[in-house]
Amino acid sequence: MLEIKNLSASIGDKEILRGVNLVVPDGEIHAIMGPNGAGKSTLSYVLSGREGYEVTGGSAFYNGQDLLAMEPEERATAGVFLAFQYPVELPGVGNANFIRTALNSVRRARGEAELDAVAFLKLARSAIKSLSMPDDMLKRNVNVGFSGGEKKRNEVLQMALLQPGFAILDETDSGLDIDALKIVADGVNALRGAKFSALVITHYQRLLDHIVPDYVHVLAAGKIVRSGGPELALELEARGYAGLEAA
Amino acid sequence: MTALPTRKLEAWRYTDLKNLAAISFTEAKPAKIVAPLPDLGIPRIVFVNGSYNAALSTPPEFMSPFVKVVDESVLPLVQINAAHAHDGVTIDVPANIDAGAVLLISYANTEMPIAFHPRHRVVLGAGAKLTIIEVAMGQGVYWHNPVTDITLHEGAALGHYRLQDESTEAFHLATIRAQISATAAYESFSLVIGAKLSRAEFHATLTGPNASTHLNAAQLLRGRQHADFTSVVAHKAPTCASRQTVKSVLSDHSRGVFQGRIEVAQIAQKTDGYQMNQALLLSPHAEIDIKPELEIFADDVKCSHGATIGALDPEQIFYLRSRGIPEDQARSILIRAFLTEALEPVTHEAARIFLEDAIETWWARK
């Protein structure tokens, strides 16, 4: 369970989050929608521990652990996963090696045995197949020369293999065509279960047709201004954010 | 003895030998081997404190004993080597023979400062093949001043992979001269992790059409280590290719130097010359000096030089850490990736594994 209480954060002098309150119980998927500059990406970076963001107040606990006091890698091994809006290219680093190193870091932290190259490839190939991804995805350098859609699918592949307890998808739908969108949604839906929860950050209703959220929240000017069921996304799609910001 | 070069010489502008000049060297004594010597299951030639050690060696075929040479080189260190060389190895592979791989080790262990000046010669007949994996290692204060002369006849191929892992109190000044005939290939890679001060100076001459060479290197330095990679590639025939990728990873107060000159003679049309130097500065006190020189007398050539100096990318580090990979390991992964291109000429699998292990070891040493 993720519990965010009154979370405020700034970049330099600029206050971005102004008291976010949010609880995502296990087994649920929550969507966060909102206009540009509302703080959606900042929320995902603060939760995953990226440098450059100063938490000025409030707290974020995951399964009772104080996320904000943990290093990024500790958050990851505790089960938090961020699917990047802009996945980073790593020239010279093979994708298979990268994902295996990540998986073994997580397994080590969980007290599980590390996977050798053969066992890993077997696992990775079956994940690739079920996500309808091209086979050479593992052989290439991490995200180097990948199209926008391939980068996002690579994020989903990592998520599928790392099996996080809580995933943040930061505008994973941006730049995706409808087929890629379905693949990404299938990847998330496959993880759905009593021990998995997710925060899906998106601009558009479109992704939420495929990943049906339990709750939808609207983030505007650094605060959650409205929460509701999946129907809220439809309402936003029809009316836009303008009215909400005024309220 | 010929005087050591000083910084007044343009070729020695970035590397100062005054600390070496201040040392008085004594006669080498038989040394105790206190470190495990690498064994790759291939013929092994071992020198201890500059002298051939038969007991530790399993010599390859085509090896013959040292012969004193006359050398009219103008290079000061080669002159010093010629005056003092008393040992070395000669490998002479007949035409069309694939002589496999050989491991050449220089090990030093001394309590008093010593100097040794081995003279190695490698000759490959037309179409012959050989891989040399060279390791220089040791303990104590010493000066290792090897000169290696390489002659590749038509169509011969030499892979020359060097690990310089000398004592951090040692001076390593190596000169490698290669004559590369038509269609012959000299593929070299040097991994520099040791010595207090080191220089590897390559003189590669491409003498026949379609000769090619890689002069690649990686320098991994820390503390106050200084490493200099100097190359002079002379294109003296048409349609030859020379490629140099030199990568430096510099931490603490270390200093890397790259000086590369490409000389293209008028006859050497369609020359393809490439130099790339990239440095990762891991500390604000580290320094890299890069001096490329192109001297081109032909009109139809492709010669390029590029240099980049940077630090590790925090975005990349965060991406790795966000996947559960500890920060230290994330840095090490990115540094390994940075080095990958330089290791390209190392096609011999055992050599590659050996060098990659050495990189791992460097990282773990701290």
DSSP B108-132: EE-SS-EEE--EEEEEE-TT-EEEE
B169 vs A149: which has the higher pLDDT: B169
Each residue's pLDDT tens digit, A216-237: 999 999 999 999 999 998 888 8
Question: B interface mutation test: which of A73, A81, A166 has the most B CBs within 10 A?
Answer: A73
Residue B323 has its nearest CB partner, among A49, A51, A102, at A102
Question: What are the sequence ranges of the domains in chain B?
Answer: 10-312
pLDDT tens per residue across span A105-143: 999 998 999 999 999 999 999 999 888 888 888 999 999
Pick the residue from chain A with its C-alpha nearest to B321. Answer: A73
Distance (Å, whole) CA B67 – CA B13: 33
Give the CATH number of domain A2-246; options: 3.20.20.70, 2.40.50.100, 3.40.50.300, 3.40.50.620. 3.40.50.300
Q: Are A146 and A157 in contact (CB under 8 A)?
A: no
The answer to whether the beta carbons of residues A72 and B339 sit under 8 Å apart is: no
Which of B320, B325, B338 is the closest to A92 by Cβ?
Answer: B338
Ordered DSSP codes for B122-189: EEE-TT-EEEEEEEEEEESSEEE--EEEEEE-TT-EEEEEEEEE--TT-EEEEEEEEEE-TT-EEEEE
CB contact under 8 A, A51 and B314: yes
The token duo for B93 is: 């592979």
Distance CA B329, CA B226 (A): 25
B336 contact residues in A (CB cutoff 8 A): 92-93
Q: Is the ipTM of this complex over 0.90?
A: yes
Give the number of other Cβ atoms within 10 Å of residue A229's Cβ: 11
The nearest alpha carbon in chain B to A87 belongs to B319
| Cα→Cα distances B5→B9, B76, B172, B177, Å | 7, 6, 14, 19
Tokens of B241: 């290719």
- Alpha-carbon radius of gyration of chain A: 18
- Best to test chain B binding among A45, A48, A90, A146 (most B CBs inside 10 Å): A90
CA of B326 to nearest chain A CA: how many angstroms apart?
6
| Amino acid found at A236 | L
Q: How confident is the model at residue A246 (pLDDT cuts 50, 70, 90)?
A: very low
Q: How far apart are the C-alpha atoms of B136 and B198, rounded to whole Å?
A: 12
Band of the pLDDT at A244, cuts 50, 70, 90? low
The answer to whether A90 contacts B319, with C-beta atoms less than 8 Å apart, is: yes
* B192-B195-B197 Cα angle (round to 5): 100
**Chain A residue with the nearest C-alpha to that of B312:** A90
- Considering CB atoms only, which of B316, B322, B334 is closest to A48? B322
Residue B26 DSSP code: B
- When scoring B245, B319, B327 by the number of chain A Cβ atoms within 10 A, the one with the most, hence best to mutate, is B319
How far is residue A144 from each of residues A93, A137, B50, B249, measured CA to CA in Å? 9, 10, 47, 22
> Which helix or strand (DSSP H or E) is residue A107 part of?
helix A95-109
Give B-chain residues touching A112 at CB under 8 angstroms: none
User: Is 80 exceeded by the pLDDT of residue A53?
Assistant: yes
A247: confidence class by pLDDT, cuts 50, 70, 90? very low
Looking at the complex, report in whole angstroms how far the Cα of residue B320 sits from the nearest Cα belonging to chain A.
Answer: 8
Our CA angle for B201, B307, B158, nearest 5°, is 40
CA quadruple B11, B13, B14, B16: dihedral sign = positive
| Residues with Cβ within 8 Å of residue A104, at least 6 apart in sequence | A114, A115
Q: How many CB pairs under 8 A join A and B?
A: 74
Q: Does B319 contact A87 at a Cβ distance shorter than 8 Å?
A: yes
Helices B327-339 and B349-365: crossing angle, nearest 10°?
140
**CA pair distance A87, A102, nearest whole angstrom:** 15
Most confident range, picked from A114-128, A176-190, A198-212, B222-236: B222-236
The closest CB to that of A93, out of B326, B333, B341, belongs to: B333
| CA–CA–CA angle B84, B87, B92 (5° rounding) | 125
Q: Which residues of B touch A88 (CB under 8 A)?
A: 315-316, 318-319
Along the 366 residues of chain B, how does pLDDT read in single tens digits? 678 999 999 999 999 999 999 999 998 888 888 889 999 999 999 999 999 999 999 999 999 988 888 888 999 999 999 999 999 999 999 999 999 999 999 999 999 999 999 999 999 999 999 999 999 999 999 999 999 999 999 999 999 999 999 999 999 999 999 999 999 999 999 999 999 999 999 999 999 999 999 999 999 999 999 999 999 999 999 999 999 999 999 999 999 999 999 999 999 999 999 999 999 999 999 999 999 999 999 999 999 999 999 999 999 999 999 999 999 999 999 999 999 999 999 999 999 999 999 998 888 776
Q: What strands, in cross-sheet order, belong to the sheet with B44-48? A: B51-52, B44-48, B98-109, B129-139, B157-165, B185-192, B212-221, B241-250, B272-281, B302-310
| Closest chain B residue to A76, measured at CA | B324
Beta strand pairing status for B119-124 and B147-152? Answer: parallel
Query: Taking the domains of chain A in order of start, what are their residue ranges?
Result: 2-246
Torsion angles phi and psi, residue B113, rounded to 5: -60, 130
φ, ψ of residue A208 to 5 degrees: the values are -75, -10
Q: How far apart are the first and last CA of chain A?
A: 29
HSE, side-chain direction, 13 A CA sphere, residue B137 = 16
**8 Å CB contact between A240 and A204:** no
Cβ-based contacts of A81 with chain B (< 8 Å): 322
| Chain A residues whose beta carbon lies within 8 Å of the beta carbon of residue B323 | 73, 76, 98-99, 102, 105-106, 158, 162
Q: Is A232 helix (H, G, I), strand (E, B) or coil?
A: helix
Any CB–CB contact under 8 A between B321 and chain A?
Answer: yes
Residue of A67, A93, A104, A156 to mutate, interface with B, max B Cβ within 10 Å: A93
* Residue B224, number of CB atoms within 10 A of its CB: 13
Residues of A in contact with B338 (CB under 8 A): 92
Pair of tokens at residue B256: 């890397």
CB of A75 within 8 A of CB of A105? no
Q: Which residue of B has its CA nearest to A78?
A: B324
Evaluate whether A159 touches A190 at the Cβ level (below 8 Å).
no
- Percent of all residues in chain A with a pLDDT value above 70, rounded to a whole number: 98
Among B318, B336, B338, whose Cβ lies nearest the Cβ of A72?
A: B318
Report the candidate in B17, B61, B26, B56 with the shortest Cα–Cα distance to residue B39. Answer: B56
| Burial of B137 per CB tally in 10 Å (0-12, 13-18, 19+) | buried
**A101 with B333: Cβ contact below 8 A:** yes
Contacts with B274 (C-beta within 8 Å, 6 or more apart), sequence order: B241, B242, B243, B244, B303, B304, B305
Beta strands A166-170 and A197-201 are parallel
For residue B365, what are the contacts with CB-CB under 8 A and spacing of at least 6? none
Closest partner residue to A88 among B315, B329, B338, by Cβ?
B315
Mean pLDDT of chain A: 92
* Residue B100 φ/ψ region, left for φ over 0, alpha for ψ in the -120 to 50 degree band, beta for the rest: left
CA distance A54 to A9: 5
**Looking at this protein, which amino acid is placed at residue A126?**
S
B360 inside 8 A of chain A by CB = no
Put simply, the answer to whether A76 touches B326 (Cβ < 8 Å) is no
